[in-house]
Amino acid sequence: MTRNLRHETILALIAGKEIETQEELCDELAARGFLVTQATVSRDVKDLRLIKVRGMEKRFRYACVRENEGGLSDKMRALFCTCAVAIRPVGNLVVVKTLPGSGANAGVVIDELAYREVAGSIAGDDTVLLICETAEDAKSVAERLNAIVRT
């Protein structure tokens, strides 16, 4: 199976359950048909920029740096907060209204977040349109973007 598919599976696994060790991750991947070594998982953890955060059930768990928007630099966060005026889901889309001339800037920040729920984006002068797979994904993305603006 391909590396990209394995990476997608790892991200889905850590989003769905608390995985504390690389060995646990190897076991979960094996259960899904990926026969990998701990060394491969170690490289995957590095490639995906996974970090360990406190867990609810376990002491620690793997998480994606971008899971809580921690992957944004202070400068990028400030840029987004400055230019975003309104964020709302519309069906499976998210409309981000910005100050005039700031659509591209907001789009760059959103692209940097690399939300897996976002299939694509289009940035205009004062609007960014995000295309998501489902309405639930759009609602989740809009909530996460609004949380960035509120911080």
pLDDT computed for residue 89 by the predictor:
97
Q: CA dist 2 to 5, 7, 10, 67, Å?
A: 5, 9, 12, 23
Is the CATH code 1.10.10.10 the one for domain 3-68? yes
pLDDT computed for residue 29 by the predictor:
96
pLDDT computed for residue 57 by the predictor:
83
d(CA 66, CA 112): 9
Give the global pTM: 0.56
pLDDT computed for residue 54 by the predictor:
73
- Long-range contacts from 112-115, C-beta under 8 angstroms, 24+ separation: 112/71, 112/72, 112/76, 113/66, 113/69, 113/71, 113/72, 114/66, 115/66, 115/141, 115/144
Helix (H) or strand (E) holding 85: strand 84-90
pLDDT computed for residue 66 by the predictor:
53
**Which residues have C-beta within 8 Å of that of residue 79, sequence separation ≥ 6?**
105, 106, 109
Q: Which residues of the chain fall below pLDDT 70?
A: 1, 65-71, 151
pLDDT computed for residue 67 by the predictor:
47
- Structural domain boundaries in the chain: 3-68, 74-150
d(CA 151, CA 147): 6
Mapped onto helix, strand or coil, the DSSP state of residue 95 is strand
Let me know: does 117 contact 140? Beta carbons within 8 Å: yes
Q: Which CATH architecture is the domain 74-150 placed in?
A: 2-Layer Sandwich (3.30)
d(CA 66, CA 57): 21
Let me know: does 11 contact 47? Beta carbons within 8 Å: no
Let me know: does 146 contact 88? Beta carbons within 8 Å: no
pLDDT computed for residue 148 by the predictor:
87
Strand partners, 118: 132
